[in-house]
Amino acid sequence: MRRFVLLGLMCLLFAAGMARGQSRDDEGGGLKGADDLLAAVVRVKMKAVKGARSSDTLGEEREGTGILIDDKGHILTIGYVVMEAQSIEITTQDDKTVPAVLAGYDHVTGFGLLRALTPLDIKPIVLGDADKLPVKEPVMVLPHGGRSAATLAYVMSRRKFTGSWEYQLDSAIFTSPPTMKWAGAALLNREGKLVGVGSLLVRDSIGPGQAVPGNMFVPIDLVKPILADLIASGKRSGPQRPWIGLATEEVQGHLFVTRVSPDSPAEKAGLKRGDIVIGVGGNPVTTHEVLYEKLWAIGDAGVDVPLRVLQGAELKEIRVRSIDRNEYFRQRASF
């Protein structure tokens, strides 16, 4: 089985080399194309700013994978790896380490964008079309670490993903078997093009209630409309979503508050761990999806969010003044 997987892996890498303009008869060129793909995947290490709000849950030092996506040194990763970064360094496949800065962050998708401060002399990976990636399709997962870290996987499902931290994707990519180096890993299609960026290890890659472990990837299509904004101003343009700072868990049709972000709008309004969110305004909420749908429909960041909350045996009406989530985290200004 191991030999079969490795054979499939090499076939995909070879095919990727040919997709980059090499002749079918030019085996050396095909392998060079595969090497180019591997070289575009780098290690990302960061140290958080002093007093970073995310350090309690993510740590003061973090490591993940980044993907070079253009010839200007822009590197795409999953945002929590570089959230509130004081310093960032990237290390290439040939062990060259250079400094980088956080160029942009998008809380809606979860993408983080870096910019290397030293020329890398590496070919960027071409962005593919995630919408055309079917279920059961073989894919390549490339975390940093070179050829030995690359693995073959299969798309197990394409479906909505809803996180407990005010986060939702309409269509995430779920793969299996899982990689243990998922944070920022590159997901490549048969053509060797980037179709997703690694975000999470999950238990249910096929669907809810089906215990097949795997990984969740954020589709690359979500960054295309906002990439120019991230490069130019560090965040997507236009109105921002309201954010209140609640993490909740769905338990038998109830939303229990599991964490209230320190100094967040929710904490300032008096919400506490153990509370149960019953509704938004006059609308009952029992799932994350419904909660976010009602929350985000009220208006842009800064709007008051009317929550109905059960605190102990007392039902309370609590108004929470939302904010732009970008204003909450203590990121070193670099754009």
CATH of the domain at 297: 2.30.42.10
Among the listed residues 236, 225, 231, 233, the one whose alpha carbon sits nearest the alpha carbon of residue 115: 231
Range list of H helices, 134-250: 227-233
- Residue 6: per-residue pLDDT: 44
Query: Which range has the worst mean pLDDT, 10-24, 72-86, 277-291?
Result: 10-24
- Residue 8: per-residue pLDDT: 52
Q: Are residues 107 and 160 in the same domain?
A: no
Average pLDDT score over residue span 284-313: 97
| Residue 292: band (very low, low, confident or very high) from pLDDT cuts 50, 70, 90 | very high
- Residue 134: per-residue pLDDT: 96
Average pLDDT score over residue span 5-13: 50
- Residue 34: per-residue pLDDT: 84
Domain boundary among 163, 198, 229: 229
Please give the residue that has the higher pLDDT: either 129 or 24.
Answer: 129
Expressed as residue numbers, the domain containing 104 is: 2-124
Q: Are residues 197 and 280 in the same domain?
A: no
What is the rounded average pLDDT for all residues in the chain?
Answer: 91
At 79, which CATH number?
A: 2.40.10.10
Query: Which range has the worst mean pLDDT, 6-20, 106-120, 188-202, 296-310?
Result: 6-20
Residues 6+ apart with CB under 8 A from 74: 68, 103, 113, 114, 115, 231
- Residue 295: per-residue pLDDT: 97
For 87, other C-beta atoms within 10 Å of its C-beta total: 14
Domain boundary among 82, 109, 124: 124
Q: Are residues 159 and 193 in the same domain?
A: yes
pTM for the structure as a whole? 0.90
pLDDT tens digits along 22-74: 444 444 444 567 888 999 999 999 999 999 999 999 999 999 999 999 999 99
What total number of domains does the chain contain? 3
Domain boundary among 202, 229, 256: 229
